[in-house]
Each structure stands twice: as C-alpha cells, then as structure tokens.
Structure 1
Amino acid sequence: MEIRQYGHSVTEPPPPRRRRRWPRRVLVTALAGGVAAGAVLMLRPDGARRPARPPAAGPQAQAQAPARALTAVTAGLPAALPDLASLIGQQESRVRARPRDARAWAVLGAAYLELGRQSADAANYPKAERALRTSLEVRKGGNTRAAESAEDAVSLEGLASLANARRDFPAAKRYGEQAQKLAPKRWSAYPPLIDAYNGLGDYKSARGALDKLTGLRAGAAVRPAVMARASAVYRDRGWREDAVAQLTDAAATARTPAEQASYLTGVGQLAWERGDREDALRHFTAALRLDPGRRAALAGKGRALAALGRTDEAIAAYRTAVARRPDPQDALELGELYESLGMFPAAQAQYDLVRTRARQAVAGGVDEELLIGQFEADHGDPREAVERLREEWARQPGIEVADALGWALHRVGEDDEALEFASIATDRTKGGGVRSALYVFHRGMIERELDEHGPARRHLQEALRISPYFSPLREPAARAALQELGDVPDEPLPAS
C-alpha cells in the first residue's frame, strides 16, 4: 500500500532540490549605549500592530487590570491578555515620563515578553528586548562595565526567558546563569535555566536546577508555578503520572483565572499526549472558559475535536486559533487535518501560511529552524530539512531536534544515520525519556525501511498504544505499515 502525504509519498524518493524559500535565522540587534529616551520612541512605531484587545470589561475590572498583570509578570506568573495590554499602556506612559526608571523598563519588557508568548506574535519580542536591555543600561547609568547587582537579575531573567521564547538556548543559558549567580534564592531565576538546559540536551543540569528550585520553599503565591515547572521536567523524563499530578495540583491552587487556565491547558496537553481525547477536550474547554484569550487552549481544542471525529468543530476551532494567533505550528496542524480529509487546496493554503508566519517569526528573532525542518521533511524538500537540522543540532542538540533530524535523514534515504538520531530521541539511556507517539512512530518507520521488522513492529505498536490519535496523517500510516509487516512470524525458539 502506498501511503501518501501532501505533494509526495512517504515511500517515494524525495522531490528535486529547490531553491531555498526560507529566511535564515535573524538575530535582533540589541540597543547599545545609553539610549533609554530613544527607546521610548521605538516601542510602537507608526503603523505597528497594537496588541489585540478583547471587549472592554467593566470599569472596576479595567481599573484593576494593570495591578493584576503587574503582580503576575513581576512574579513570573501567567497573565490575561487584556490585563497585559493595560499594563503595557501604563508602563509605556511611565517610561516616557521617567525614562531613567529601570524598574519600569524591566516591567515593560516582561509584559511585552508575556504578550508575545501568549499571543504567539514574535513582533513583541524586539520591543521586549529593547525594554529589558534599557533597564540594565539605565541602572548602570550608561556605564556598561559597572558591576551587576541583584536588581539586575530581574532583567537578566527576562532576557533568558526571551531567548527561550526565541529558541535561542545558548543565550538563555548565558543570561539564566548570570541571573542565578546574582540572586540564587529567587525562584524565578530557575525556570528559564531549566528550559535552556533542556533545549541544549543537558538533562542532568536541568534536573539539578529543578532540585535547587524545589529546595527554595517558594511562597504560596508562586508554589503553583513551581509545580508546573516540575511537571514539565517530569514529562520530559517520561514520568507521566507525576507530571499530571503536579500540574493538576498547580491548577487547583492557582490564584487567578489566567494562571489556572494556563495550567489547565497544560493538563489538557498531557491528556492529549497519552491519547485521552475526552479528558484533553474537557481541560482545554475549561481553560477557555476561564481565559477566552488562551490561544494554546483553542488550538488544543481543535486537536482533540479532530481526534474525536468532530471535524467540522475541529476546523472551526483551528481556524479561530490561526486567525487570532500567528503561530506557524497551528497553521501546519490545520493544513495536515485538511490533507487527511482530502481537502488538498485548503491544505496548500495553510502550508503557504506556514511559510509566511515562519518568516514573520524569524523577523522577530525566533529560531524557527526546527519547525522549518519538520515542515520541509514532510511537505517540501527533505534535503533542505537535513541541511537546516544538522546546523540546528550542532548549535542546540535537544530531543526535538534529534527526532526531526532523524526523520529528515530517513526522508532522503539515509536510514542508518537516521536510526542513530531516532534512538537518541526515544532511548531513555541517551536522553530521550519523553513518551512521544510521534518519536516512536518515526523510529518504527525507519526500522521498517532497514528491514528490522521486529523492532519496527514493536515501535509502531507502541506509538499507537501511547496515543492512537497522535496525528491525522501519521496514525493511518502507522496502521498501514503494521498491516504490511504482518503478524509476528511463528519461528522456532533458538537452540540452547
């Protein structure tokens, strides 16, 4: 049986190499020197898109919005989009009036960063970087050689989190370690470091940073965020039950609707990864009730509805998410859903949108080499995917990159090397502790091509056990491959 994906089959040779269409990763130029006053004018240049604002709340809620967001961003907690928009307006006015106010610049940078992460709009990241760097500069009075103080840790934490959001894990590690050195008892210094270490494949350091974080005995207000961070590390180790327990407790003890919605979205994602469609949908829906602007929950809802066979509702949810949230990943998922339904023109429109939005993200300083490599491997030029992902692996060798590079190598016929990377992504002894149906599927398909039928059958079956609905395109491919491999042959036991 030939298993087709959009544009070409997963079993046929890759298409001819095409001229590169994608931009290379662009590093946003940081401010240099004491330019705080000038930075004010660069926050929203004429014609720049302002953050989307939901319908106005009542006067009392509007008055409290900046204070709620201020509490959240200074503590490193999730905030609601309307509150962030109010806080940004307030802080912009403050830095215009007092351009030497280092704390106001730091808060403004943190607010722009949180807005960018929640809205998936990378246009906010250069503004966040300018504000955070200006905070450091004005605190030093323009003396870039001045000794750093514990107050600088706040801005350095922001720069570390910003680098993680841009998938620049070496920079995140550098800033995070500086912040942790300046303020080793600040709980918020550790989550960016954990993310950076994971992105670099340094799982031992990630576990060490988590141990230090949990040993700080954080206060009640931030304890849910600490549990959420522990959940992410447990998930990466393959400890599903512990990850779910930590995140469920975090949602139960969260103090604001936005914070609770963030953790419920995470619980929904964990449910989705283990193939529990109904539980995933329940948590994504609950998150959206608490915080209608939670874009990740909307995309998750589309994912769960598609797995439940409610395709019209799934498409509607995805289309809303894609319209509101310029995340290329959402467009890619919708395109693959359309493709699985045989709606090829609609799929192509979404794949074109992936390219557009990836360019926009790169313009905001985001490293999209992983996503571009994944896209090209399945829907474009696998040779380009290999080239990009090799460079990404050399720079930041995390599990996601190992899986993507292994699959891209398989798509160009380099299956022996592909299996090496697929093993890294799925073998606990090599760092790949996370239980991912996609990673195990990739390994099984590579082994099938190498005529390693026993391991291939075992890994394809495992992928479907982990989650029978992990992808509208790849789940049918896994079942077809298993059917082709047939049952385990009835062979005599080896002689003793």
Structure 2
Amino acid sequence: MSRRTALGFLVAGVVLLVLTATALNTAWRDDRTGTVAGGVTAAPAADPVIELIETSQERLTEVPGDWSAWAQLGSAYVEQARITADPTYYDKGEGALQESLALRPDDNDRALTGLGALANARHDFRRAADLAGRALELNPFGASAWGVLTDARHQLGDYAGATAALDRMLELQPGIASFTRASYNAELHGNRDDAAAALEQALAAARAPADEAFCRAYLGALAFSGGDLDGAERHFTAGLAEDPGEATLLLGQARVLAARGRDDAAVAAFRSVVAARPLPEHLVEFGEYLTALGREEEAQEQFALVETIRSLFEASGVQDHLGTALFAADHGDPATAVAAAEAEFAARQNIDAHDALGWALHSSGRDAEALEHARAATSLGGRNPLFLYHRGVIEAALGRTDQARATLTEALDTNPYFSPLHAPRAAQLLAHLGGRP
C-alpha cells in the first residue's frame, strides 16, 4: 500500500473532477437552444475532461479574452495531469490560469481556486492554502475553494482547520467532492463506519459512469484498508464495469489479486497500472511486489524508472521528498532518506511527514528520535497498518518488546495484506518477539 491512508491517494483530484463535471453541464450554453456558444450542438464525449479542454479551446478561439474560459481550461489541464500522470499539463494549467488572472486580476476566485488546486497537486500546500483563502475572501460561498483549503490543511497537519473547512464545504455543496473528503477525514481519525457512510452518500449522488467509478475506487480502497478482500473486489469490479481501464481501479484490483496469491494476474494488473499512470509510487509498489515474489531483476527495472519519472515531475514543479525518503529508507540509503524526510518535515508536519521522518531516522540507526515521530504518525486514531508496522519495528529496535508486539498485532489485525513486502516482515518480527504465529 501507499504511504498514505487508503483514500489519500485520490483526494487531490476530487475538486477538479467536480469542477469539470459542472463545467460540462453549464459552460457557454444558450438556455433557449441548448447549444454551445457559436451554434455547435454539444455532443456526449467518452472523456469529459478532454471534452472540456476542447470546448474551452474552441471558446477561446472565438473569444480570446474570456477569463472564465481560461480558468476552466487551466483547471481541466490540472485534472488531466492527474489522470494521465503527464506533469507537463501542470505547466499548461498554470499558464491558462495565469492568463485568466491577467485578464481579470480582481474578483477572479475561479482562477485562484484553480491555482490552489494546482499548488496542492505540486505539494506546495502552504501556497494552496493561501490561494484558497484569497479565493474565499472574494467568494465565501465557493465550495470548490473550501475543498482546496480542506486538502491543504490536511496535508499541513492542521486537522481541526481541515475539519472546519470541510464542514463549510458540506453545507454549501453536499455531493461527491465533499462526501469523499468527509470519508477521508473520518478515516484519518479512525471512524471507519462514518467513512463508509460518507462514501455511500457519494455513490448515491453519482450520476455519470465516471463518477460512479470514482466512488467505487474509494469504497474499494476503504474495504481493502480494513482487510476486506471480498468487499474491495466487488467495488473495484463494479467500478471497472463503468470505467474500464481506470488506473486507480486497476491498482485496487492488483492489490486484491496479490493478496489472494494470484501472482500472474496481479503482475499483469500492476503492469497495466504503470503503463496507464506511471507515477513514482506505482512503480515502487509494483517493484516491491516483484521483490516479494523473488523476481528481483524485474523489480529493479521498475525501480530504475522511479528517479527518471520523479525528475520529470520536479521539472514541472512537483516535489516528492516524502516518496524519496521512504524509498531510500527501504532500499539502503539512509543519508538520502533522512535529508529528504527532514526537508519534507520542514515544509509540513502532518502524520505522513512524521511517519517518513521516523522511518528514515530508524534506517540510520537513530531509533530514540524515530520513536517520537512514529508515535505522532499514529496519534490521530486512524489505523494505518504501514505506519503501525514502522512504529512496531522501531519499538522492537529499542527493546520495547511488549509495545512492539501490541503495535505489530494491531497492524496485522487491521489489514494482513497491507503490503506484499512488509506484511510478511511484520508477521516474522511478531513471531520473533513471541507474538502469535
């Protein structure tokens, strides 16, 4: 599993998905005729984000000074970057959003909200919070801006502030974007029943196949994070029926197949994921699964791509110190791990940063310092099995045997399949410490 909670990998894109769906239903239509400006009848499209990009571009060909069209085009580009894992769309998105601001420097909360979502995508969470705040000063009723602020505050470790922003978003626009955020927030605090209920509300609100698939990905991830393979498989299968080839659903399916020991099918599914969305975390996860299978040469092929892909993202303004730290800590480079984790922690102090710094310090033999961060990473109440595994290893290294046994047991009770590489190690260490077989 990813370093994040089971739902965290999806949150950044939610606001843009909803902005896209809204724009497709409202952009530049003549209320009397139902046509797009210019007289062209709007036709259904297989890909709503591509349709929005094309429709926005057509509008700007006719009216280059339409600041609203530039804002919508920029937001669509940022969403396309998430979908395709092509970071060059971030640069295109920034250009379009800045053009919108240049055309309308005042009273342009749409562009500020889009730039805030872009900043979140680039992991510049303080800037995202600032931009969302500026947008809300102009339009306190902008639900999407409240969503951007919610995401930024979660990533900065301001959990009370995130909950407050989320509550306001829910008041203004109860729907897929707000319900999925509510689920994530509940899961972070260990309220799995509330998390599931929020996702069911999101699913009930879905009207388009892509929206249903989106909600199914969340529901499957939540089920898998609790070790419910049957429930996870049901949701991933239903989601793929609505949106075949969607990478997040394929990733969930690959995890279920791996947990069931269906190795050939799991490898094929992981290959589909990294082909469709070659994110560094996907390459690392696939490589670690291959390592667990003893296919080290193939694993190294995946790992060799990680830095290349990460460099492409960095060139488009995306920083991933967290991923660098965890990969280095797991693969024998403690100096790089500590440097990257400290850089991340200097920028934000949320549970992910605490976990990464604790694990990096452990990799360099600094377990007394590591334990403080490992405890902070598990302090919210959420039961992230990877975080618990990290803490249990650190406790064991410090000779805190009783604590380590309890922590490792909790990790495996939460999800015995949390990682094909680390879950077996957790079980082996627990047995070594005199825990259950």
TM-score of the aligned structures, taking structure 1 as reference length: 0.78
CA–CA separation in structure 2 for the residues paired with 1:182 and 1:475: 49
Q: Select the residue among 453, 457, 468 that pairs with 2:416.
A: 468
Name whichever of 116-125 and 391-400 sits farther off. 116-125
Aligned residue number for residue 148 of structure 2: 192
2:24 touches 2:52 (CA, 8 Å); kept in 1? no
Aligned residue number for residue 450 of structure 1: 398
CA–CA separation in structure 1 for the residues paired with 2:104 and 2:118: 20
Aligned residue number for residue 341 of structure 1: 293
Name whichever of 90-99 and 330-339 sits farther off. 90-99
Aligned residue number for residue 232 of structure 1: 184
Hey, which of these two has a bigger chunk of helix by percent?
Answer: 2
2:24 touches 2:48 (CA, 8 Å); kept in 1? no
Aligned residue number for residue 38 of structure 2: none
In the alignment, structure 1 residue 70 sits paired with structure 2 residue 26: no
Q: Which residue identity is paired with 1:397?
A: Q
In the alignment, structure 1 residue 126 sits paired with structure 2 residue 87: no
What SS does the aligned partner of 2:47 have? helix
In the alignment, structure 1 residue 325 sits paired with structure 2 residue 277: yes
Q: CA deviation at 1:337?
A: 0.6
Q: Which residue identity is paired with 1:475?
A: A
CA–CA separation in structure 2 for the residues paired with 1:93 and 1:425: 48
Q: CA deviation at 1:68?
A: 5.8
CA–CA separation in structure 2 for the residues paired with 1:255 and 1:186: 22
1:443 touches 1:459 (CA, 8 Å); kept in 2? yes
Any gaps of 5 or more consecutive residues in structure 1? 1-66, 141-147, 489-496
TM-score of the aligned structures, taking structure 2 as reference length: 0.88
Quick one: percent identity of the two aligned structures? 43
Alignment deviations for residues 407-453 of structure 1 (CA, whole Å, 9 cap, x no partner):
110011000000010011012xxxx3321000001000000000000
Q: CA deviation at 1:71?
A: 2.8
1:248 touches 1:264 (CA, 8 Å); kept in 2? no
Which structure has more relative contact order (CA 8 Å, sep 6+)? It is: 1
Q: Which residue identity is paired with 1:298?
A: L
2:112 touches 2:132 (CA, 8 Å); kept in 1? yes
CA–CA separation in structure 2 for the residues paired with 1:208 and 1:81: 36
2:45 touches 2:51 (CA, 8 Å); kept in 1? no
1:81 touches 1:118 (CA, 8 Å); kept in 2? no
Structure 1 residues 432-451: aligned runs within 5 Å = 432-451=380-399
Aligned residue number for residue 124 of structure 2: 168
Aligned residue number for residue 49 of structure 1: none
Q: CA deviation at 1:454?
A: 0.5
Alignment deviations for residues 239-283 of structure 1 (CA, whole Å, 9 cap, x no partner):
111001111221122111111111110111111111112211221
CA–CA separation in structure 1 for the residues paired with 2:245 and 2:152: 27
CA–CA separation in structure 2 for the residues paired with 1:283 and 1:119: 22
CA–CA separation in structure 2 for the residues paired with 1:184 and 1:446: 45
Q: Select the residue among 415, 432, 436 that pairs with 1:484.
A: 432
What CA RMSD, in Å, does the superposition of the two structures yield over aligned residues?
A: 1.9
Any gaps of 5 or more consecutive residues in structure 2? 1-19, 28-43
Q: Select the residue among 216, 220, 228 that pairs with 1:276.
A: 228
Aligned residue number for residue 153 of structure 1: 109
Q: Which residue identity is paired with 2:309?
A: R
CA–CA separation in structure 1 for the residues paired with 2:307 and 2:280: 8
What SS does the aligned partner of 1:181 have? helix
Q: Select the residue among 292, 298, 314 that pairs with 1:362.
A: 314
Aligned residue number for residue 113 of structure 1: 78
CA–CA separation in structure 2 for the residues paired with 1:99 and 1:235: 44
- Aligned pair in 2 of structure 1 residues 116, 487: CA closer, same or farther (>3 Å)? closer
1:331 touches 1:351 (CA, 8 Å); kept in 2? yes
Q: How many residues align?
A: 401
What SS does the aligned partner of 1:435 have? coil
CA–CA separation in structure 2 for the residues paired with 1:380 and 1:367: 22
